[in-house]
Amino acid sequence: MRKIAALFALSPFLLAIGVLWAPQAHASTAGFQAGDIMNDTVMAKSKSMTVTQIQHFLDSKVPTCDTNGNQNSEMNNSGVPDYNGNGSIQRWEWGKKKYGQTKFVCLKNYSKNGKSAAQIIYDAGQTYSINPQSLIVLLQKEQGLVTDTWPLNIQYRTATGYGCPDTAPCDSQYYGLTNQLKWAAKMFRSIMDQDPDWYSPYVKGTNARVYWHPDTGRCGYASLNIRNWTTASLYSYTPYRPNQAALDAGYGTGNSCSSYGNRNFYSYFTDWFGSTRTVLVKVGSSPAIYLVWGSNYYPVPSNTILSAYGLTDKTVATVSQSQLDTYTLGPALSRVVRFGSDPTVFLVDGGDIHPVTSWGLLANYDYNSSDKIDFSDTTVKDLFSVAPTLKTLARKSDGSIYVADASKKRLFPDSATFSTLAASLSDDGTKSYSNLSKTLVDSLSDGSPVLLDGKIVKSKSTSTVYLYENNSLLPYSASEWSAWGKKLDYDFFSASSLSQITPAGDTPGYFATNGSTNYVVSGGKKYSMGPTTMTAWGMVNGDFDTRTNASLSRLSSAGSIGSLISNSSGGVYKVLSGAAIPYVTSGDFTGSGNSWSSVVKVPNEVISSLDSSSSIVFKPGSLIRQPNGAVSLIDSGFVRHSIPSMEIFNAYGFKWSSVRNYGQNSLDVYTDEPLKSLALVSGSTHYLADSGRLFMVSPTAYGSSQFNFSPSNEVALQSSKTISGLDKSKTLEQFITSSSSPIIYKVINGQKRPLASMASFYANGGGTTKLRVLSQTFIDSLPTGAVLN
Amino acid sequence: MSMQKSTSKRNIILIVLGAVLLIALGIAAYLYFTPKTATTEPDTTNYAPPTSEETKQGQDIKKQIVEEDLSKNEQADTPKKTFSQQITTAEKTDGTLYVRNEIAGVYQSGTCTLTLVNGSKTVKKTAGVQALAKTSTCKGFNIPVSELSSGTWDLILSVTINDMTADDTAKVAL
């Protein structure tokens, strides 16, 4: 309940919030034109307000009338008695002393012969076809009557100041509000109509001496072109022109040569009723619109031009042809203008004029000298704000920036591009731009966008993605785009703008170079390829497409690529001599000593670019049988050791179950070094294959003092993996025998010397751990020496 | 407990709705009572109370009026002995030489004599005096250029009002 009561208590304030949300007009002396204070159209607008509206306006300017003069007097109270002895001088006391007046009638309450002041003002306007708003302003600027909360009777007597010279008493024949308004309106109308019985000191279209101040000798005058009859009538009424100090002071005080009558007329009218100059007119029902300025009128050819001149918010007054004919026809408005004898050419846009430094620069905006019009009336320039010199860099209100280039607009797609390239593309080598309207900029057709090298783009209406570099577009295939990481920087260009960039006869590709480092492109990364790998890939420098560093920077660096690659379905290859040789099992891959981390997944197209091969990569130690029956032991380095006989096969202890069958060409890439019973493994360890095992042969046993083996009878096995899994548990000893003979031999100097007896065996250094059982074939291969006792 | 909470919440809603309604009524009242212009053009009239600057300017005007009125009343019985006038316009436009002046003071009658001299040539025109709002002017002079030869003319404008005379001069090139 209390809250509801509080709401009601607040209700007046809440209502006030709503009421005070009213448009507030605030103007200064900005726009004051001494030679064109008000134009004829506005002064002649007799129907601008109804009586009711005038009354409402007068009511609004005096919210509370001090009818009884009870407020303190703001006048010079010197000599005014404090009649009521309250210690201060009230207005009624002042009025009583000076004028015998103690009651005050505000303008809003004024009535004479049954007519209100609003009615009197309205009637004078209708009688003489004068804007009642001008008459209201006249009452204020002459007597302060509109805002006065305690007007004196003398103020109504000379309400418009008519018949009141500066330094003499007023002429009483003009006394009274009605009379004053009538004579003022009549004078305005007579001068505007150039009534042959009415002369004025000022003539439209002439350069008149208009003085600054009544002290004409001290303050002097300036020559002023009087541009219309209304302004002539205003100076005829109040013959002084406000100087700059008066204009700068707003409603305040200027300097000793300042006059305020015409300034106040302009300021009050602008603040209370709007512009004193209707600049746009049309004749009757004709749609053609004209700009009226000074003594000329100019056809407005289009809404675009209207907008360019900043006039779209101006109301269009309807006039008669005869009224329009009082002005001189000027050229149809254009965006390209000059004023008077000033050689400067301007481009008009959004109410601004941009000075143009050259026709060449303007041509970028698709305008030339044939578009130019000349305003002989240089005051038309007051319509505009002077903007900075026109630049080829143009910014629209939405923030987008273009460079105007040969009648086209080229978009900077982002701030980074603008920051980097704008200066190089601008007319003056700087990044300064002109703020221009959407209409002007969009009137230019799309040119190619401004792009930095390495940007990846597509149009909004097509699907092709391009790499941009060196003023060209390189189209990606779907796979290439994927290899380049499916990046996309801009997808909003029109197809027509992109089509203006030269298409390159090249694609971004999978093999790229910056001239010093070669790369394979895959998965958004770049893998450097060194000389060794290039040899394995069978590639030369010319196989790599030169790309800019900017383009290559779009790829993250991923180290180097070797000869192990995989395709999209996981197939792994070894690249050798330009061919991609597949691994068929993961065991072959890992058994070859490879790490999965060394494999680089590449696009299938990269693999397709390599020679295909029927060969297969097998791990060392693999036993591969070809359809022709040949069996090979696989070594590393693409070496195989064909097994020449079952004897050798068995000597090594190979198992048929380990043999894998592949195609005849599966070993094409391998170099064959036939397997022998004697083998040098990894260049360091000798073995003798016999009886299904490998006997390690020490250097002593190998040497001439014992078995005297020859390297020519030996096969080199590259990798120890070749014999992994085979029995290598025993070393070759000097004492040998076979399972088929009881004779024990001691091998000395390459000869087998039979031992006469077991005693001889032991006497010659033998022992059970030193006796080796070998095949009879091997034993028979050794020459026999003398018996050892 | 829950019934008290719902009642309090309802009151808050009612208060907010009430406030919105009152503000809306205020806006509606403003729009209703703001008179529309008789024309179809937007009404740009400022119906707000005067600003302090506008009011002060009005007060200053009033003070000046009162001062002038009171000082003029003291001079009321003192006849003027002199007046001034200045040529304001002396320019040829569209085949006509316009010569205008401004006379300080409001006079219903008088005589203006314009003498134009170019070497040995002299042209003289006369006209009456017309009262304006705060000054006066000679009723003339629109002189067809055909009446004058080319060259530079000296203009002497002499105005006589109530036995007082004031002169001003100008030059005009034709």
pLDDT tens-digit series, residues A675-695: 999 999 999 999 999 999 999
A-chain CB neighbours of B88 within 8 Å are 201-202, 208-210, 239
Does the residue B62 lie in any domain?
A: no
Question: Which residues of chain B are within 8 Å of residue A184 when distances are taken between CB atoms?
Answer: 133
Nearest CA in chain A to B90: A208
Q: Is residue B50 part of a domain?
A: no
Q: What angle do CA A615, A617, A619 make, to 5 degrees?
A: 145
- Residue numbers of A between 272 and 291 with CB closer than 8 Å to B: 272-274
Distance from CA of A381 to the nearest CA of B (A): 24
| pLDDT at position B38 | 40
b (16+ CB within 10 A) / e for A395-421:
bbeeeebbbbbeebbbbbbeeebbeeb
* Burial readout A480-493 (b: 16 or more C-beta within 10 A, e: otherwise): bbebbbeeebbeeb
Q: Which domain holds residue A219?
A: 40-67+104-273
Cβ atoms of A472 and A501 closer than 8 Å: yes
Q: Give the domain CATH number at B169.
A: 2.60.40.10
DSSP states of A158-207: TTT-TT--TTSPPPGGG-SHHHHHHHHHHHHHHHHTT-TT---S--TTSE
A763 close contact with B: CB closer than 8 A: no
Q: Does the distance separating the beta carbons of A268 and B135 come in below 8 Å?
A: no
Count of C-beta atoms within a 10 Å radius of residue B3: 7
In the predicted structure, residue A224 carries a pLDDT above the cut 60: yes
Question: How far is the alpha carbon of B154 from chain A, nearest alpha carbon, in Å?
Answer: 17
State which residues form the domain around B150: 85-173
Contact A17, B26 (CB under 8 A): yes
Distance from CA of A85 to the nearest CA of B (A): 24
Residue B30: inside a domain, yes or no?
Answer: yes
Contact B26 A205 (CB under 8 A): no
Tell if the CB–CB gap between A143 and B61 is shorter than 8 Å.
yes
The answer to whether residue A109 sits within a structural domain is: yes
CA dist B167 to A208, A430, A751, B82, B164, Å?
A: 18, 63, 159, 11, 10
Q: Are A473 and A506 a contacting pair, CB within 8 Å?
A: no
Residues of A with CB below 8 A from B164's CB?
none
Residue B75 within any structural domain of the chain: no
In a domain, A655, yes or no: no
Least CA distance to B54: which residue of chain A? A251
For the record, the structure tokens of A639 come out as 């070496």
In a domain, B113, yes or no: yes
Residue A640's φ and ψ, nearest 5 degrees, are: -125, 155
Q: Which of A378-392, A641-655, B39-53 has the lowest mean pLDDT?
A: B39-53
Whether residue B97 is found in the same domain as residue B167: yes
Strands A623-625 and A659-661: parallel
- Note which residues in 626-645 of chain A have CB less than 8 A from chain B: none
Which is nearest to A451 in space by CA: A482, A410, A492?
A: A410
Contact between A199 and B140 using a beta-carbon 8 Å cutoff: yes
Which of A159-163, A344-348, B21-25 comes out lowest in average pLDDT?
Answer: B21-25
Beta-carbon separation of A273 and B44 below 8 A: yes
For residues A244-266, give the mean pLDDT.
93
The mean pLDDT of B37-45, rounded to a whole number, is 56
Gap from B71 CA to chain A (nearest CA, Å): 9
Of B61, B63, B106, the CB nearest to A75: B63
**Confidence class of residue A5 from pLDDT cuts 50, 70 and 90?**
low
pLDDT score recorded for residue A277 = 85
**Cα A592–A561–A563 angle (5° rounding)?**
35
Work out the average pLDDT over A708-722.
93
**pLDDT at position A320:** 82
Residues 143-162 (A) with a CB less than 8 A from some CB of B: 143-148, 152, 154-155, 158, 160-162
Select the residue of A143, A187, A317 nearest B132 (Cβ to Cβ): A187
Helices (H), A176-302: 177-192, 216-219, 229-237, 244-248, 261-273
B23 and B97 assigned to the same domain: no
Task: Determine whether the interchain pair B46/A271 forms a contact, defined as Cβ–Cβ distance below 8 Å.
Answer: yes
Q: Which residues from chain A sit within 8 angstroms of residue B100, using beta carbons?
A: 199-203, 208
**Ordered DSSP codes for A482-536:** HHTT---SEEEE-HHHHTTSEEPSS---SEEE-SS-EEEEETTEEEE--HHHHHH
Is residue A448 a contact partner of residue A457, using CB atoms and an 8 Å limit? no
Phi and psi angles of residue A498, each rounded to the nearest 5 degrees, phi first: -65, -30
A519 found inside a domain: no
User: Does the distance separating the beta carbons of A50 and B58 come in below 8 Å?
Assistant: no
Q: Which of A261, A233, A253 is nearest to A142 (CA)?
A: A261
Nearest CA to A494 out of A522, A459, A526 is that of: A459
Q: Which two tokens stand for residue A722?
A: 């070749």
Using the predicted structure, report yes or no on whether residue A25 has a pLDDT greater than 90: no
What's the whole-number average pLDDT of chain A?
A: 92
Cis-peptide, bond into residue B141, ω within 30° of zero: yes
Any B CB within 8 A of A72 CB: no
CB contact under 8 A, B133 and A161: yes
Q: What is the largest CA-CA distance in chain B?
A: 115
- Mean pLDDT of the A559-588 span: 94
Which A residues, 186 through 215, put their C-beta within 8 Å of a C-beta on chain B? 187, 198-203, 205-211, 214
Q: Chain A contacts of B72, Cβ < 8 Å?
A: 167-170
Within 8 A of B74 by CB-CB distance, chain A residues are none
Give the residue from chain A lying closest to B18, CA to CA: A7
- Residue numbers of A between 19 and 38 with CB closer than 8 Å to B: 19, 21-26
CB of A369 within 8 Å of a chain B CB? The answer is no
**Interface with chain A: mutation pick from B100, B114, B141, highest number of A CBs within 10 Å:** B100
Determine the angle formed by the axes of helices A261-273 and B52-75, rounding to 10 degrees: 150
Residues of A whose CB is below 8 A from B132: 187, 200-201, 236-237
Measuring CA to CA, how many Å separate A492 from each of A214, A408, A416, A425, A551? 68, 17, 17, 22, 20
Helix (H, G, I), strand (E, B) or coil at A716: strand
Q: Which of A273, A296, A313 is the last residue of a domain?
A: A273
Are residues B92 and B14 part of one domain? Answer: no
pLDDT at A153 over 60: yes
In degrees and rounded to multiples of 5, residue A748 shows phi and psi of -135, 130
Total of domains in chain A: 2
Q: What's the domain count of chain B?
A: 2
CA gyration radius, chain A: 55
CA-based nearest residue in chain B for residue A144: B58
In this structure, is residue B147 part of a structural domain? yes
Mutant choice from B86, B102, B155, B162 vs A, greatest count of A C-beta within 10 A: B102
Give residue A401's pLDDT: 97
CA distance A323 to chain B (A): 19
**Amino acid at position A704, single letter:** S
CA distance A401 to chain B (A): 36
- Number of A/B CB contacts below 8 angstroms equals 244
Reported confidence tier of residue A600, pLDDT bands at 50, 70, 90: very high
Residue with tokens 């009274």: A176
Given a contact cutoff of 8 angstroms between Cβ atoms, the answer to whether A440 and A365 are in contact is yes
End-to-end CA distance of chain B: 102
Q: Which span out of A3-12, A23-32, A68-77 was modeled with the highest average pLDDT?
A: A68-77
Contacts of A50 in chain B (CB under 8 A): 35, 37-38
- With residues binned 3-state (H G I as helix, E B as strand, rest as coil), the percentages for chain A, rounded to 5, are 30, 25, 45
Q: Do B46 and A169 touch (CB under 8 A)?
A: no
Mark whether B90 and B31 lie in a shared domain.
Answer: no
Closest approach of B87 to chain A, Cα-based (Å):
8
* Residue A6 CB partners (closer than 8 Å, separation 6+): B15
**Chain B residues with beta carbon closer than 8 angstroms to that of A122:** none
Is residue A210 in a domain? yes
A635: its two tokens:
């070594």
So what's the pLDDT on residue B48? Answer: 93
pLDDT value at A21 more than 50:
no
User: ipTM, 2 decimals?
Assistant: 0.79
pLDDT band at B13 (very low <50, low <70, confident <90, very high): confident
Report chain B residues whose CB lies below 8 A from the CB of A14.
19, 22-23, 26
pLDDT digits over A43-68, tens only?
988 988 999 999 999 999 999 999 99
- Identity of the residue in B23, B66, B87 whose CB atom sits nearest the CB atom of A14: B23
Same domain, B95 and B168: yes
